[in-house]
A and B are shown apart, each in its own frame.
Chain A
Amino acid sequence: DTGVSQNPRHKITKRGQNVTFRCDPISEHNRLYWYRQTLGQGPEFLTYFQNEAQLEKSRLLSDRFSAERPKGSFSTLEIQRTEQGDSAMYLCASSLEDREVTEAFFGQGTRLTVV
Chain B
Amino acid sequence: TQLLEQSPQFLSIQEGENLTVYCNSSSVFSSLQWYRQEPGEGPVLLVTVVTGGEVKKLKRLTFQFGDARKDSSLHITAAQTGDTGLYLCAGDAEYGNKLVFGAGTILRVKS
A residues with a Cβ closer than 8 A to B are: 4, 6, 31, 33, 35, 40-45, 48, 50, 55-56, 91, 93, 100-109, 111
Question: If the complex has contacts A91-B42, A104-B33, A106-B42, are A42 and B103 also in contact, measured as CB distance less than 8 A?
Answer: yes
| B48: Cβ under 8 A from any A Cβ | yes
Q: How far is the CA of A102 from the CA of B32 in the complex (A)?
A: 9
CB closest chain-B residue, reference A4: B42
Measured between C-beta atoms, what is the minimum distance from B74 to chain A in Å? 14
| B61: Cβ under 8 A from any A Cβ | no
- Are A31 and B106 closer than 8 Å at their CB atoms? no
B residues with a Cβ closer than 8 A to A are: 6, 30-31, 33, 35, 40-45, 48, 50, 86, 88, 90, 92, 96-104, 106
- Are B40 and A101 closer than 8 Å at their CB atoms? no
- Are A106 and B43 closer than 8 Å at their CB atoms? yes
Q: What are the residues of chain A within 8 A of B35 when measuring CB–CB?
A: 106
- Are A103 and B104 closer than 8 Å at their CB atoms? no
Report 27 cross-chain contacts, Cβ distance below 8 Å, ordered by A residue.
A4-B42, A31-B97, A35-B101, A40-B86, A40-B104, A40-B106, A42-B90, A43-B43, A43-B88, A43-B101, A45-B99, A45-B100, A45-B101, A91-B43, A100-B50, A101-B30, A101-B33, A101-B50, A102-B31, A102-B98, A105-B45, A106-B42, A106-B44, A106-B45, A108-B41, A108-B42, A109-B41
- Are A103 and B30 closer than 8 Å at their CB atoms? no
Q: How far is the CA of A5 from the CA of B58 in the complex (A)?
A: 26
Q: How far is the CA of A29 from the CA of B88 in the complex (A)?
A: 22
- Are B99 and A102 closer than 8 Å at their CB atoms? yes
Q: State which of A42, A44, A50, A107 has its C-beta within 8 Å of the C-beta of B42.
A: A107
- Are B98 and A45 closer than 8 Å at their CB atoms? yes
- Are A102 and B92 closer than 8 Å at their CB atoms? yes
CB closest chain-B residue, reference A103: B48
